Amino acid sequence: MSLDFLGNLERTHLCGTLRAADAGKPVVVMGWVNRRRDHGNLIFLDLRDRSGICQVVLDRELTPEGHVRGEQVRPEYVVAAVGKVRLRAADAINPKMETGEIEIEATELRVLNDARLAPFSPAEDAIQNEEVRLKYRYVDMRRAEMQRNFRLRHEITRAIRESLSKQGFLEIETPILTKSTPEGARDFLVPSRVHAGEFYALPQSPQIFKQILMISGFDRYFQIARCFRDEDQRADRQLEFTQVDLEMSFPRREHVFGVVEKFLSAAFAAAGVALPTPFPRMTYDESMRRFGSDKPDLRLPGLTDVRPAFTNDALATLQIDPALPVVALRIPGVGELSRKEREDNHPLFDQKKGAKFIDDFKRLAKSFPESAAKVRELTSAAEADFVIVVAGDPAHHIKASDTKFEGRLSEREINVYAAAGNFRTELAKKYADRHGAFRVTEETVEAAHAHGGANAIDGAIDGSRAFHPIWIVDFPMFEYELASAKWVPAHHPFTAPYEADMANLVSDPASVRADCYDLAMNGLELGSGSIRIHRKDVQQQIFASLGISDDEARKRFGFFLDALEYGTPPHGGIALGLDRIVMLLAGAPNMREVVAFPKTAKAIDLMAEAPTTVTEQQLRELHLRVALKS
RNA sequence: GGGGACGUAGCUCAGUUGGUCAGAGCGCUGCCCUGUCACGGCAGAGGUCGCGGGUUCGAGCCCCGUCGUCCCCGCCA
């Protein structure tokens, strides 16, 4: 078919904005054919643009030519409708449409472009086949849900920029082509053409640059920064992602918390959600004990210590390690599970970590009726609640991991808590429909207002329909590496220890706490930051305690160590995952729903078909030769 | 690197114990229809059951391998 030119035609309105008040106005709208309903002499087109949908009527009597065009168009053709807004007859009003009281009586329809039939229609809800969605991302993103997600992302980003600007932060860009930063993940490398055999690294974070900006006297810096980490992906992890990165001079951590709470509640407000401040806090140890995670999801009940429910004899019979935690997790509203259903859940439990579980309470009650009853009592389990006991498995006892330091959770204890915590979140995800606590709906948003966000961290069910931020503090400074019998930093080596713990750096590394902090929300780590080391002597002590020689330090961080010596103010900061913030507010099950062109779990861009091989010529210019191991 | 789920028409799926099992709905194409809005009616097209091998008289179904997508562990502070 022949196509029409746009000519001098000017769009006057967006489809979704037309209302009864516009009746009688001449309009020109442009967009995509969402649906077509052909009644012979009368054709209805649902025309869609980014604002929504409105109905265009093509009447053969009124516009014979327009009617012919209407017969020719197909889904996703791009058209311009010229006509007049008119009120619909009372019995023709569609209350399900925002524009349902009016329609456009067309006098002309220009077909600006045709379209191949897509494998799915943007008029429908999301299809299940994500592979197809990602390959035809341009079609997928026409869907109302995607349009909403990216509008939301824009509003959130804008609110954050405005809040930080108001709080005196300067947005400064840092290099994408740079040097490897000490974040611990694998770097993406970019070969240099000019310098044969040498490589740039893409930043894992602007960490060193932002610290240098503090040395440079900018006092308060932020950046909506793209970061790159070459690690395997997850639902909440992409190879490249966006961080709200900030750093400030002369702060204590409370100042950082204040800044974050301010911009985050501004971001949530932009999405229509009230996020009360200040956010609650919890130590790392407590978070592990109560949730088996350092990014606790407070929407559901935490772990319960049920050690008192069991006698030593009972533990011996059940082959449970009496020296390790015995905890119970409870998923509300799951109801009775058959043996088969329970067994289907078993792969969700991570057994490698020396933990085991009991999910068959009928069987437990047969041998140990009092214990079974006591567990349900301790966990305040209702009839329909699913309860599982998690404990240490003596059969998977690794001797060396017994190493226990005063005042700290041992590795084995952490493993039991983590196994329980992981099982808890996996089951919670699986039974989300039954407990309903993860639903993000208009109701949730309303509830967030009504409940004031539930600062109570006990995960009471009535406060569960909301967003639950929590600061995790008092992380240990070092972790004990069994293999090498050495203390290794739990964070990047510029993280400051508590000033009060500094004296123990060498004598008692186990007791040293780091002045760093995580922000968690609904089971996601939203961000992480710290007060940094600003003194050369402290930095040297840290390197020394980590067994990093001067030479090695110089090689890895030379330019930064130099900079530290030219008048470094005390400073600290944080970085928050923007994608994750948007994900939460969009109620998205994974990050790909809020990233325009994401990569798959195998790190492939299905639309652009990246990565690819390159030409010999390109390799030559980069002084490279590919030698694949086969 | 490891574990798990999935893979049948463009999409969503059904397919029992290996034996009329190549199926449905939606979508698509053609014709008809002046008040639909998930329009309706009639007719029609559309399949290497992801791919390769094996077992069998016979495989969508069983076995082995492989590829792809997703989730998790490792990894990512």
ipTM: 0.93
Structure tokens at A288: 């592990």
Which nucleotide across the nucleic acid strands is nearest to A575, CA versus C1'? B77
Distance of CA A186 to the CA centre of its chain: 20
Which nucleotide across the nucleic acid strands is nearest to A422, CA versus C1'? B72
- Distance between CA atoms of A483 and A411, rounded to whole angstroms? 13
Q: What distance separates the 2 farthest-apart alpha carbons in chain A?
A: 93
Q: Please answer whether residues A192 and A242 qualify as being in contact, where contact means their C-beta atoms are separated by less than 8 angstroms.
A: no
Q: What are the Cα distances from residue A579, in Å, to A133, A240, A273, A299, A423? A: 19, 10, 17, 21, 25
Which nucleotide across the nucleic acid strands is nearest to A94, CA versus C1'? B37
In which region does residue A139 sit, left (phi positive, over 0), alpha (psi from -120 to 50) or beta (all else)? alpha
If you measure CA to C1', which residue is closest to nucleotide B35?
A92
DSSP notation for A463-527: G-SS--EEEEE--BSEEEETTTTEEEESS-TTBPBPGGGGGGTTT-GGGPBBSEEEEEETTEEEE
3-state DSSP of A299-367: CCCCCEECHHHCCHHHHHHCCCCCCCCEEEEEECCCCCCCHHHHHHHHHHCCHHHCEEEECCHHHHHHH
**What is the H or E stretch that residue A71 is in?**
helix A64-72
Q: Angle CA(A198)–CA(A204)–CA(A210) in degrees, nearest 5?
A: 100
Q: What are the Cα distances from residue A386, in Å, to A293, A360, A460, A522? A: 20, 10, 16, 20
CB atoms within 10 A of CB A93: 15
Query: β-strand A469-473 against A281-283: which pairing, if any?
Result: parallel
- Distance between CA atoms of A316 and A371, rounded to whole angstroms? 13
Per the DSSP assignment, residues forming a β-bridge with A568 are none
Within 7 Å of a protein beta carbon, the nucleotides of strand B are 1, 3-4, 10-13, 27-29, 32-40, 68-77
First to last CA, chain A: 52
- Distance between CA atoms of A492 and A181, rounded to whole angstroms? 10
The spacing between the Cα labelled CA in A341 and the C1' in B57, in angstroms, equals 39
CB neighbour list of residue A47: distance below 8 Å, 6 or more residues apart: A15, A29, A31, A32, A33, A34, A53, A54, A55, A56, A79, A81, A104
Predicted local distance difference test score (pLDDT) of residue A449? 43
Predicted local distance difference test score (pLDDT) of residue A630? 54
Burial of A106 (0-12, 13-18, 19+ CB in 10 A): buried
A261 SS3 class: helix
Structure tokens at A489: 């930093």
The spacing between the Cα labelled CA in A608 and the C1' in B26, in angstroms, equals 29
The spacing between the Cα labelled CA in A451 and the C1' in B54, in angstroms, equals 62
If you measure CA to C1', which residue is closest to nucleotide B27?
A120
CB atoms within 10 A of CB A72: 13
The spacing between the Cα labelled CA in A601 and the C1' in B66, in angstroms, equals 19
- Distance between CA atoms of A83 and A13, rounded to whole angstroms? 12
Which nucleotide across the nucleic acid strands is nearest to A205, CA versus C1'? B77
Predicted local distance difference test score (pLDDT) of residue A429? 84
Which nucleotide across the nucleic acid strands is nearest to A490, CA versus C1'? B77
Which nucleotide across the nucleic acid strands is nearest to A230, CA versus C1'? B76
- Distance between CA atoms of A151 and A169, rounded to whole angstroms? 24
- Distance between CA atoms of A330 and A301, rounded to whole angstroms? 6
CB atoms within 10 A of CB A600: 14
- Distance between CA atoms of A544 and A539, rounded to whole angstroms? 8
The spacing between the Cα labelled CA in A346 and the C1' in B19, in angstroms, equals 37
- Average pLDDT across each block of 10 residues of chain A; the chain has 630 residues. List them in order: 93 96 96 96 96 96 95 96 96 94 96 95 89 95 95 97 98 94 84 96 94 97 96 95 97 96 96 92 94 92 94 93 92 82 80 82 91 93 91 72 74 89 89 77 47 36 66 90 74 89 85 94 94 90 78 81 93 97 93 96 92 93 85
The spacing between the Cα labelled CA in A376 and the C1' in B14, in angstroms, equals 41
The spacing between the Cα labelled CA in A232 and the C1' in B67, in angstroms, equals 19
Which nucleotide across the nucleic acid strands is nearest to A602, CA versus C1'? B69
The spacing between the Cα labelled CA in A463 and the C1' in B56, in angstroms, equals 60
